Amino acid sequence: MVTPLPEFRLGDLESLPAGLKRLTLHEMEVAASGFFDGEEAFGGAVHEARRSTKRIRAVLRLIRGELGDRIFSFEDRWMRDTARLVSPVRESVALVESMDLLDRIYGHLLAAGALDETRYRLDHRRERVETRVMEDPEIVVAVVEKLEKAHGRYSNWPVDDSARSIYGVGIRDEFAAVGPGLAETYARGRGQMVDAYKNVDAAKFHEWRKSVKYLRHQMELLTPIWPEVVVGMAISLERVGELLGQDHDLAMLIDRLDADTNLCPDPVERSLIRALANQRRADLQMAARILGRRIFAEEPESLTGRFDAYWEAREPESLAALTRVML
């Protein structure tokens, strides 16, 4: 089976400035448009908005050296704050999905319906949270306005090769524009992986997960430099991100049930859910460690050296020669 190419990627011979501008503007448009599709589509709109902001933040990290720290910090904070406006909806959904996960894995070992009452209470809470956010015009308007304002700023990104040398702003169409950002994201994720397993702390696993997601989106974006290699790494990163995402959501479930005992009034049931969640978290962390050690086996300098070579081999003449041989 042929693995489909990521949708969030540069065109095969698209310039870096034009490609990044196209992709980031598209993500903002997708994120904003979902909030006009009606109540039934609200949950999906929240998901799309959060995914789009993560993709844009991955781009910002990739070209941080081109933007400068001041612009990077401002735009990164802007996207983070945009996503946070609707984060309660995502968190309420994640709690229900975590209960479904525990029931799917361990339900056959428990009495019939053992987790149903807590699951019902969490789903009722999800409905209340979603309704509150959806019916608050200030929240939805604020999200759309922030996306529209960012869209206006990004629309003014110059794509001309000479813009940087003449005006002092712009993105170079060469690997040097993204190499340092790629190395930084990779190195950060590598260090966070070590920290997470050294301390076995939920917050540290969550920080590692964020870097894994940024690196995954950066790999998707860079797919054209060698799809057969880069897509494989993006898929592996996606899997690690899913494992760490489940781990984070289960940790959040434990914390939520402890903080709000009305969601699970029976202390025996709370203890059971905590035990099941911690067992699953241990399995998830072990699987993430196995994959993570393979992904982050290289030194950052070695990784960027390889990708620099892939980038150079992406020149039109090289691709034309490859095409002639393959036909």
231 pLDDT tier (thresholds 50, 70, 90) = very high
Secondary structure class of 325 (helix, strand, coil) = helix
What's the confidence (pLDDT) of residue 326?
Answer: 45
What's the confidence (pLDDT) of residue 159?
Answer: 85
The answer to whether the predicted template modeling score (pTM) of the entire model surpasses 0.95 is: no
Q: Supply the angle between the helices 87-106 and 116-134 in degrees, to the nearest 10.
A: 160
CA 93 to CA 264: how far, in whole Å? Answer: 17
What's the confidence (pLDDT) of residue 318?
Answer: 54
- Tell me what the mean pLDDT of segment 273-279 comes to: 97
Residue 197: pLDDT above 90?
A: yes
φ/ψ of residue 21, rounded to 5: -65, -45
CA 242 to CA 248: how far, in whole Å? Answer: 10
pLDDT in tens, 289-303: 999 999 999 999 999
Q: Which residues contact residue 188 at a Cβ distance below 8 angstroms, ignoring those fewer than 6 apart?
A: 211
pLDDT in tens, 110-138: 998 899 999 999 999 999 999 999 888 78
What's the confidence (pLDDT) of residue 164?
Answer: 74
Query: Rounded mean pLDDT of the chain?
Result: 91
